[in-house]
């Protein structure tokens, strides 16, 4: 029987985003504060996912061996390092989160049966790499506060209460929503980025955080005048709002996860154009 196991590790390191072929002004325009000298640091958290058959001892791998490999190949070399100088690979490509995840994969793949490298630069930014050439995933986590009421306007209060319980009360209730937006793209061979992080953050702020924050969703967001703002429906709407703008970054939207509370979340994946058209047609028919 196959099983996937995960091993956590961590290291502290600094880096700087700076391309010598660009002028100082061009570097700061492109990378912002990340171009400052002598760089800045992070407490990186690494998760190594590995898949294999369970042996007679109930293990996929001996975790002592896994720990030794990760320490030898990764953490002992990167901990308290300046990443730009730590590995030769970073002379050609900047040590971004996504590129660092890829290089970690390359150094472990011959020794461990890895299926995913997940690297957290900090709790609100992380990358996933799965061994697909230059393809990587980058996730930004943000938040907004909003109120909503779960009630179908076509139903009576009693009917809505039967379906949604306390959430159907007339004056609604609020949440501190946490939003995780994952994009997918190709790592640039020079910058190490799949997209301009500042541009991605700006799109999320412009299309979701600013319009949604401190609102009563049913009243302030036109889409929810007729659509019940469940966590699932909010996640779908956010996906639809972000899909086209995110394409302008050179990457594409991959997934949206909305965490309504510690006990309740919803996640949806991006759609192909055909899937999007079919889903839109279903919504129109459902409202007829």
HEC-encoded secondary structure of the chain? CEEEEEEEEEEEEEECCCCCCCCHHHHHHHHHHHHCCCCEEEEEEEEEEEEEECCCCCCCCCHHHHHHHHHHHHHHHHCCEEHHHHCHHHHCCCCCHHHHHHHHHHHHCCCCCEEEEEEEEECCEEEEECCCCCEEEEEEEEEEEEEECCCCCCCCHHHHHHHHHHHHCCCCEEEEEEEEEEEEEECCCCCCCCCCHHHHHHHHHHHHHHHHCCEEHHHHCHHHHCCCCCHHHHHHHHHHHHHHHHHCCCCEEEEEEEEEECCEEEEEECCCHHHHHHHHHHHHHHHC
Catalytic annotation present for 167: yes
Find, among 107, 3, 105, the residue nearest to 50 by Cα: 3
Catalytic annotation present for 260: yes
CA dist 136 and 186 (Å) reads 6
Name the phi and psi angles at 10, rounded to 5: -150, 155
Q: Which residues pair with 53 in a beta bridge?
A: 2
What was the pLDDT predicted at 19? 96
CA dist 121 and 137 (Å) reads 13
Catalytic annotation present for 214: yes
CA dist 188 and 143 (Å) reads 29
Which residues of the chain have a pLDDT value below 50?
Answer: none
C-beta of residue 139 within 8 angstroms of C-beta of residue 118: no
C-beta of residue 111 within 8 angstroms of C-beta of residue 67: no
Catalytic choice (214, 226, 279, 282): 214
CB atoms within 10 A of CB 56: 5
Name the phi and psi angles at 181, rounded to 5: -115, 120
Catalytic choice (98, 121, 180, 260): 260
Q: What is the pTM of this model?
A: 0.92
Question: What b/e readout covers 7-37, taking b as 16+ CB neighbours within 10 angstroms?
Answer: bebebebbbbbbeeeeeeeebbebbeebbee
What was the pLDDT predicted at 7? 97
What was the pLDDT predicted at 67? 97
What was the pLDDT predicted at 284? 58
Find, among 165, 162, 147, the residue nearest to 220 by Cα: 147
Name the phi and psi angles at 155, rounded to 5: -110, 160
CB neighbour list of residue 96: distance below 8 Å, 6 or more residues apart: 17, 127, 187, 191, 192, 193
CA dist 276 and 200 (Å) reads 22
Catalytic choice (167, 178, 232, 267): 167
What was the pLDDT predicted at 271? 76
38: preceding bond cis by omega (within 30 degrees): yes
Domains of the chain: 1-131 (3.30.479.10), 134-288 (3.30.479.10)
């Amino acid at each position: 029987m196959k099983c996937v196991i995960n091993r956590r590790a961590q290291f502290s390191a600094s880096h700087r985003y700076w391309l010598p072929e660009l002028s100082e002004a061009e570097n700061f325009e492109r990378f912002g504060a990340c171009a400052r000298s002598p760089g800045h640091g992070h407490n990186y958290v690494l998760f190594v996912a590995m898949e294999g058959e369970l042996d007679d001892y109930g293990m996929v791998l001996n975790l002592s061996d896994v720990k030794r490999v990760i320490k030898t190949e990764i953490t002992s070399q990167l901990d308290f390092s300046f990443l730009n100088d730590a590995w030769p690979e970073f002379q050609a490509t900047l040590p971004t989160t996504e590129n660092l995840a890829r290089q970690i994969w390359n150094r472990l793949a011959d020794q461990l049966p890895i299926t995913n490298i997940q690297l957290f630069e900090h709790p609100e930014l992380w990358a996933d790499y799965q061994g697909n050439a230059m393809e990587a995933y980058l996730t930004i986590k943000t938040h907004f506060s909003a109120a909503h009421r779960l009630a179908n306007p076509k139903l009576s209060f009693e009917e809505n209460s039967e379906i949604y319980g306390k959430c159907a009360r007339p004056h609604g209730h609020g949440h501190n929503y946490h939003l995780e937006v994952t994009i997918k793209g190709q790592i640039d061979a020079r910058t190490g980025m799949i997209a301009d992080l500042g541009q991605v953050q700006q799109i999320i702020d412009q299309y979701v955080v600013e319009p949604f924050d401190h609102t009563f969703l049913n009243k302030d967001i036109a889409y929810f005048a007729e659509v019940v703002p469940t966590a699932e429906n909010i996640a779908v709407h956010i996906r639809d709002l972000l899909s086209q703008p995110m394409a302008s970054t050179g990457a594409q939207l991959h997934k949206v996860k909305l965490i309504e509370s510690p006990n309740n979340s919803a996640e949806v994946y991006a759609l192909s154009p055909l899937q999007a058209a079919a889903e839109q047609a279903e919504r129109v028919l459902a409202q007829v």
